[in-house]
């Protein structure tokens, strides 16, 4: 995984000056509305994602499916092998643009209790995703330039 913030070389960049495009992971795993929920459960657990953006054929964001959505379906007695993503996803998810400031990004994540948020371009196409951990990584890079040896 590579983010522009990975290339910061130490002190001199202020965390508050960074934007979402610098934090985001641009290699995003997505799924389609007609994907089967059991396959998405496998992708989420093996890929260690908490959620996946749901896109249409043009990569426009149409929803998000999370661990919570899948667990709610299970609690409702649904068989994930027989459920399509569109039946359990969250429609009209919160998204951001790549120029969203670090402060606004933190506020969006906190106020909406989100772990990650998709980044879309002006046409609504998914171009990245930012997780809370990415922000912490960026903060560390602005202070030290490198991650500790154990990371």
> What does the alpha-carbon distance between residue 120 and residue 60 come to, in Å, rounded to a whole number?
8
- The rounded percent of the chain whose pLDDT value lies above 90 is 77
- The answer, yes or no, to whether residue 131 has pLDDT greater than 90, is yes
pLDDT in tens, 16-62: 999 999 999 999 999 999 999 999 999 999 998 889 999 999 999 99
pLDDT in tens, 84-98: 999 999 999 999 999
The position carrying tokens 């459960």 is 41
pTM of the model: 0.87
Mean pLDDT within 105-129: 96
The residue with greater pLDDT, 1 or 76, is: 76
Q: How confident is the model at residue 146 (pLDDT cuts 50, 70, 90)?
A: low
- The answer, yes or no, to whether residue 10 has pLDDT greater than 60, is no
> What does the alpha-carbon distance between residue 3 and residue 114 come to, in Å, rounded to a whole number?
20
For domain 4-144, give the CATH number. Answer: 3.10.580.10
**Tokens matching residue 21:** 């495009």
Which residues have CB under 8 Å from 145's CB, separation 6+?
A: 8, 9, 10, 11
Dump the DSSP string for 66-85.
EHHHHHHHHHTT--GGG-BH
Helix ranges (H only) for 15-151 are 20-23, 37-47, 67-75, 85-88, 102-111, 132-144
Provide the mean pLDDT of the chain: 90
pLDDT value at residue 2: 56
Please state the domain extents for the chain. 4-144
- The answer, yes or no, to whether residue 101 has pLDDT greater than 80, is yes
């Amino acid at each position: 995984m590579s983010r522009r913030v990975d290339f910061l070389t130490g002190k001199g960049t202020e965390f508050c000056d960074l934007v979402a495009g610098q934090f985001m992971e641009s290699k995003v795993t997505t799924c389609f509305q007609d994907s089967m929920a059991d396959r998405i459960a496998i992708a989420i657990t093996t890929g260690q994602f908490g959620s996946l953006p749901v896109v249409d054929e043009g990569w426009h964001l149409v929803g998000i499916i999370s661990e919570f959505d899948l667990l709610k379906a299970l609690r409702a007695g649904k068989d994930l092998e027989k459920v399509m993503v569109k039946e359990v996803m969250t429609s009209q998810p919160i998204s951001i643009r790549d120029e969203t400031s670090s402060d606004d990004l933190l506020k969006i994540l906190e106020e909406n209790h989100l772990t990650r948020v998709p980044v879309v371009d002006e046409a609504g196409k998914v171009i990245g995703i930012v997780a809370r951990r990415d922000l912490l990584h960026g903060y560390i890079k602005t202070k030290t330039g490198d991650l500790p040896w154990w990371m």
